[in-house]
């Protein structure tokens, strides 16, 4: 996978600057609190220097009380700074995380139909979650770890230089070595974090796919096969995770050794200075406080660097989505589609799947406004592709598609979809109430309009028998409903939408004969004064169409009415009709 670290940080930063005032407030008070934490040991230095002085106890005790009062005041100021920082951070974080989730949602859903067909749902959900969580962790670490560390180290070095330049030099050299080693280690480990994240994505995608196909696993006895497949993917995750954790352990071992050298070494120098009367009891207290502060923060520095790069590795896959241009976008000068008659024209259209599998080569088809056309032909002939190209699920490679003379590639996608109602062969519903699913056809529809459409689609009957009626949740993808019930809900949605162009893709394939006869009546009313495209395998559903177009291998073989096509000797439609009407294959 391509390393997208810079791109990831750029996206994160673009969100931070939107709320720069909140960010500056948080940063200011964190800097103030951090500075006060490092200034406090200076008062304790004075405290012990006074305590070890040879002055009278009364004078010493008086000075000690004054120092304690100063310590109390400084501590109180620090307490205020940290409290303001924490409350300001809450406001800052809530704004940021909501914004970045919205950004992910908006960009992801602008991708084309084919993009979602080529990616697992679980994998995409995981990428969004990891991207947001990584942002939170990196920001949290920057504000509450890196900034305090930088502030405290700068002040400590300054104070130690002021106290004795040799101590300051020792700290600078030690910090340079320590941070260089940790940075190098983090960079080395990052490539394994990226591999681990990719392996986790594959395992998550596999899990999502098997959950979606749980019935196939049971019915085709695939349990052992899928378990073995998941175990293999998980084993790769385990190996990479274990290796990454062991790298952490090695880094921490090296880190702790470097820290031991610092603590012993700097106190050895302190002893040498004390022997020369250049160091006091208070200086030892100050040095110990500063060494503890450095060790506490620097110990976490290695982990911070490694976890930051691990977070960036986790965010890589979502950044890859941001780096993938939207396959189908509105033209910069795109206008709204205006329907007058609903005339559809395919003019010399060429289209290939995956740029290799040819579907259409200079394909031409004209459907006049308010004409009802049935598309038939063998599987893979190109019937569904006609619909997908009309809906701009894909863009054509050559030629153009017109609606009332308007090139659909030059109108907004939203306006195109607003004017088309689709009833697919296998409708997928939201895990929401029936009322919400039907109202998706027309968001502003009243409950009465929804119920009226349901009655016309003959789904009111089964909905009215449910305990929650229209408030019944249908389950993920509508699994709580039968195939026929889902189709009737989809038809009700199309009736409610009442768009000038209607597409029925095997819209009654899941219905029994009685339900189909009821629905057919509703569809006939729905088709009035609309341009209609019906894809069907059962010819009985299209005999009343104005035209029937027989497509095979991306070419129109026959075109005419039901009666006209039956009159053709050795016609493909006639053969298919006789086969379906007779119910048997003659010798």
**Mean of all residue pLDDT scores within the chain:** 80
CB 505 within 8 A of CB 423: yes
What CA–CA distance (Å, rounded) separates 330 from 323? 18
The answer to whether the predicted template modeling score (pTM) of the entire model surpasses 0.85 is no
* Residues 6+ away with beta carbon under 8 Å from 384: 505, 535
Residue 329's pLDDT is 77
Is the pLDDT at 541 greater than 60? The verdict is yes
The more confident residue out of 316 and 28 is 28
The more confident residue out of 536 and 302 is 536
Residue 203's pLDDT is 84
What CA–CA distance (Å, rounded) separates 38 from 469? 66
Among 32-36, 275-279, 322-326, the least confident range: 275-279
* Residues 6+ away with beta carbon under 8 Å from 448: none
Residue 587's pLDDT is 36
Give the strand pairing for 531-535 and 372-376.
parallel
Among 139-143, 226-230, 425-429, the least confident range: 425-429
Residue in the block written with tokens 């004017």:
419
Confidence of residue 215 (pLDDT cuts 50, 70, 90): low
Within 10 angstroms of residue 511's Cβ, the number of other Cβ atoms is: 21
Q: What is the mean pLDDT of residues 13-35?
A: 89
Confidence of residue 583 (pLDDT cuts 50, 70, 90): very low
Cross-strand bridge partners of residue 206: none
Residue 582's pLDDT is 56
Is the pLDDT at 100 greater than 80? The verdict is yes
Residue in the block written with tokens 């720069």:
20
Residue 30's pLDDT is 93
CB 539 within 8 A of CB 376: yes
Is the pLDDT at 540 greater than 80? The verdict is no
CB 276 within 8 A of CB 91: no
Q: Please give the DSSP secondary-structure letter assigned to residue 472.
A: -
What CA–CA distance (Å, rounded) separates 271 from 284? 9
Task: Choose among 425, 487, 200: nearest CA to 316.
Answer: 200
Task: Choose among 311, 390, 289: nearest CA to 344.
Answer: 390
CB 337 within 8 A of CB 414: no
What CA–CA distance (Å, rounded) separates 509 from 511? 6
CB 252 within 8 A of CB 185: no
Parts of the chain belonging to CATH 1.20.1560.10? 5-323
CB 563 within 8 A of CB 546: no
What CA–CA distance (Å, rounded) separates 35 from 499? 66
Among 6-10, 296-300, 365-369, 546-550, the least confident range: 296-300
Query: Angle formed by the axes of helices 281-323 and 223-275, to 10°?
Result: 150
Among 31-40, 176-185, 430-439, 525-534, the least confident range: 176-185
159-168 long-range CB contacts below 8 Å, 24 or more apart? 159/38, 159/42, 159/286, 159/290, 160/287, 160/290, 163/283, 163/286, 164/273, 164/278, 164/279, 166/269, 166/273, 167/266, 167/269, 167/270, 167/287
* Residues 6+ away with beta carbon under 8 Å from 60: 50, 51, 53
Residue 63's pLDDT is 79
Residue 217's pLDDT is 77
Task: Choose among 352, 201, 170, 198: nearest CA to 263.
Answer: 170
Is the pLDDT at 417 greater than 70? The verdict is yes
CATH number of 344-582: 3.40.50.300
What homologous superfamily does CATH list for 5-323? ABC transporter type 1, transmembrane domain (1.20.1560.10)
What CA–CA distance (Å, rounded) separates 384 from 343? 19
Which range scores top for mean pLDDT: 167-176, 207-216, 449-458, 516-525? 449-458
Parts of the chain belonging to CATH 3.40.50.300? 344-582
Percent above pLDDT 90 for the chain: 4
SS (H, E, C) 54-100: CCCHHHHHHHHHHHHHHHHHHHHHHHHHHHHHHHHHHHHHHHHHHHH
Residue 509's pLDDT is 66
Extract the tokens encoding 50: 């006074």
Confidence of residue 279 (pLDDT cuts 50, 70, 90): low
Q: What is the mean pLDDT of residues 459-474?
A: 84
Is the pLDDT at 458 greater than 60? The verdict is yes
Is the pLDDT at 54 greater than 80? The verdict is no
Among 75-84, 252-261, 378-387, 466-475, the least confident range: 252-261
Is the pLDDT at 545 greater than 80? The verdict is yes
Residue 586's pLDDT is 41
Among 26-35, 135-144, 262-271, 540-549, the least confident range: 262-271
CB 377 within 8 A of CB 365: no
Query: Angle formed by the axes of helices 121-141 and 281-323, to 10°?
Result: 150
Among 237-241, 269-273, 461-465, the least confident range: 269-273
What CA–CA distance (Å, rounded) separates 16 from 66? 44
Is the pLDDT at 585 greater than 60? The verdict is no
The more confident residue out of 543 and 3 is 543
Residue 2's pLDDT is 47
Q: What is the mean pLDDT of residues 360-372?
A: 88
Residue 117's pLDDT is 66
CB 573 within 8 A of CB 548: yes
Residue in the block written with tokens 């026959």:
558
Q: What is the mean pLDDT of residues 521-550?
A: 82
């Amino acid at each position: 996978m391509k390393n997208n670290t810079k791109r990831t940080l750029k996206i994160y930063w673009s969100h931070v600057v939107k709320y720069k005032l909140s960010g500056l407030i948080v940063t200011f008070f964190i800097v103030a609190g951090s500075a006060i934490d490092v200034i406090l040991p200076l008062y304790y230095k004075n405290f012990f220097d006074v305590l070890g002085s040879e002055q009278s106890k009364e004078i010493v005790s008086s000075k000690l009380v004054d120092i304690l009062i100063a310590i109390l005041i400084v501590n109180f100021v620090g307490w205020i700074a940290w409290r303001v920082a924490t409350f300001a951070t809450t406001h800052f974080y809530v704004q940021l995380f909501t914004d970045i989730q919205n950004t992910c949602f908006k960009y992801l859903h602008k991708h084309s139909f084919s993009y979602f067909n080529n990616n697992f749902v679980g994998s995409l959900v995981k990428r969004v979650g990891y991207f947001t969580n990584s942002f939170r962790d990196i920001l949290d670490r920057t504000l509450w770890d890196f900034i305090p560390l930088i502030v405290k180290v700068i002040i400590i070095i300054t104070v130690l230089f002021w106290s004795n330049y040799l101590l300051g030099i020792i700290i600078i050299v030690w910090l340079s070595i320590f941070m260089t080693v940790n940075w190098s280690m983090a960079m080395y480990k990052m490539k394994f974090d990226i591999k681990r994240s990719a392996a986790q994505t594959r395992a998550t995608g596999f899990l999502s796919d098997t959950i979606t196909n749980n019935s196939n696993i049971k019915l085709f006895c695939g349990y052992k096969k899928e378990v073995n497949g998941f175990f293999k993917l998980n084993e790769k995750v385990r190996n990479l995770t274990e290796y990454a954790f062991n790298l952490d352990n090695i880094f921490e071992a090296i880190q702790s050794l470097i820290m031991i050298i610092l603590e012993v070494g700097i106190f050895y120098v302190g002893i040498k200075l004390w022997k020369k009367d250049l160091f006091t009891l208070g200086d030892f207290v100050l040095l110990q406080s500063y060494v503890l502060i450095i060790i506490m923060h620097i110990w976490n520095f290695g982990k911070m660097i490694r976890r930051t790069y691990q977070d960036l590795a986790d965010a890589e896959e979502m950044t890859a989505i941001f780096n993938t241009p939207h396959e189908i976008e509105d033209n910069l000068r795109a206008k709204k589609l205006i329907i007058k008659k609903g005339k559809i024209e395919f003019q010399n259209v060429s289209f290939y799947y995956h740029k290799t599998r040819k579907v259409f080569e200079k394909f031409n088809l004209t459907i006049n406004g308010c004409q009802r056309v049935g598309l038939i032909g063998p599987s893979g002939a190109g019937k569904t592709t006609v619909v997908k190209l009309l809906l701009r699920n894909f863009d054509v490679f050559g030629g153009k598609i017109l609606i009332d003379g308007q090139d659909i590639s030059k109108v907004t996608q939203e306006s195109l979809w607003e004017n088309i109602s689709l009833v697919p062969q296998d409708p997928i519903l939201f895990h929401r109430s029936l009322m919400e699913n039907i109202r998706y056809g027309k968001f502003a529809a009243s409950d009465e309009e929804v119920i009226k459409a349901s009655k016309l689609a003959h789904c009111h009957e089964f909905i009215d028998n449910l305990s929650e009626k229209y408030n019944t949740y249908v389950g993920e993808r509508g699994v709580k409903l039968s195939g026929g019930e889902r189709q009737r809900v989809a038809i009700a949605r199309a009736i409610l939408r009442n768009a000038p162009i209607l597409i029925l893709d095997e819209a009654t394939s899941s219905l029994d004969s009685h339900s189909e006869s009821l629905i057919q009546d509703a569809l006939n009313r729905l088709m009035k004064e609309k341009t209609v495209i019906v894809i069907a395998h059962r010819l009985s559903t299209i005999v009343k169409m104005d035209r029937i177009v027989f497509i095979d291998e991306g070419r129109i073989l026959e075109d005419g009415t039901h009666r006209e096509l039956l009159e053709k000797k050795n016609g493909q439609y006639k053969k298919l009709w006789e086969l379906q009407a007779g119910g048997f294959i003659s010798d």
